[in-house]
């Protein structure tokens, strides 16, 4: 049986959220967003080791939250100025014997158990190097170009979510490369390192990333309807 290590990245400042409290710490249905995320992953992948990546000035605050909500903190890692640097810091201290590493945005509180397991089960295929939940795009799309903009075929595109999981040795090698601004997620880092066998299990429209304050109300509604 493979050993999985979980990394929850929560070191962002949430500048788009427009509140002094980063989005991952805002309260959703009675507890901080990031606690929902950690719980969901730990429930789905029993016995996985786990780390949370935090900004240096949020560590004390996080421990106070854990006390307040009677929550057991995973290992704490100090993050960096970019998501890439935050993941890299967590990889530096990840257990050497992990076979798979799954990375999840602390700002995504509602990954379903089914989706997390689909990501992990993708590795039953020995050719798979990474697995990334993805969903079809429902809006019509246009690409900006010199002439203004032009339509593009949405059937060729997928929106990508987390958790994203990878074979640990390959992910460590991919993160040896220097930073590029196009590294918006971990699959893009793997791809740039030549590890292109990435499975795309079905993501979920409920697996939203809290970005604007109104997303908290949307997440509350999703929780409300999914508990019916």
Residues that bind ligand C5P (CB under 6 A): 9-12, 24, 53, 79-83, 86, 105-107, 209
| 86 vs 188, beta carbon nearer ligand C5P | 86
Least distance (Å) between residue 89 CB and ligand C5P: 9
Q: Which of 71, 161, 154, 50 is nearest to 115 (CA)?
A: 161
H or E stretch covering 8? strand 4-10
Q: Which residue has the tokens 């002094």?
A: 20
Least distance (Å) between residue 133 CB and ligand C5P: 15
Least distance (Å) between residue 1 CB and ligand C5P: 29
Least distance (Å) between residue 170 CB and ligand C5P: 21
What 3-state class would DSSP assign to 218? Answer: helix
| 24 vs 129, beta carbon nearer ligand C5P | 24
102/111 Cα distance (integer angstroms)? 13
149/136 Cα distance (integer angstroms)? 21
Q: What angle do CA 71, 72, 77 make, to 5 degrees?
A: 115
Please list the residues that pair with 9 across neighbouring strands.
Answer: 53, 105
| 37 vs 115, beta carbon nearer ligand C5P | 37
| 149 vs 184, beta carbon nearer ligand C5P | 184
129/197 Cα distance (integer angstroms)? 5
Q: Which residue is nearest to ligand C5P (CB)?
A: 12
| 32 vs 123, beta carbon nearer ligand C5P | 32
Least distance (Å) between residue 177 CB and ligand C5P: 18
């Amino acid at each position: 049986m493979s050993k999985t290590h979980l990394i929850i990245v929560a070191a962002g400042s949430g500048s788009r959220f427009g509140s002094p409290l980063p989005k991952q710490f805002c309260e959703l249905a009675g507890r901080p967003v990031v606690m929902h995320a950690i719980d969901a992953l730990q429930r789905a992948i029993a016995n996985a080791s786990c780390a949370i990546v935090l900004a240096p000035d949020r560590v004390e605050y996080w421990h106070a939250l854990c006390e307040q909500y009677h929550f057991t903190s995973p290992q704490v890692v100090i993050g960096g100025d970019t998501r890439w640097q935050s993941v890299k810091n967590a990889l530096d201290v990840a257990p050497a014997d992990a076979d798979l590493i799954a990375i999840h945005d602390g700002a995504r509180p509602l990954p379903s158990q089914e989706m997390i397991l689909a990501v992990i089960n993708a590795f039953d295929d020995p050719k798979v190097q990474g697995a990334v939940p993805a969903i079809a795009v429902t809006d019509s799309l246009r690409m900006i170009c010199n002439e203004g903009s032009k339509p593009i075929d949405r059937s060729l595109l997928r929106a990508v979510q987390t958790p994203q999981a990878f074979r640990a040795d390959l992910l460590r090698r991919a993160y040896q490369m220097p930073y590029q601004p196009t590294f918006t997620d971990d699959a893009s880092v793997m791809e740039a390192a030549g590890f292109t066998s990435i499975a795309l299990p079905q993501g979920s429209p409920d697996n939203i990333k809290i970005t604007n304050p109104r997303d908290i109300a949307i997440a509350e509604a999703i929780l409300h309807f999914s508990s019916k």
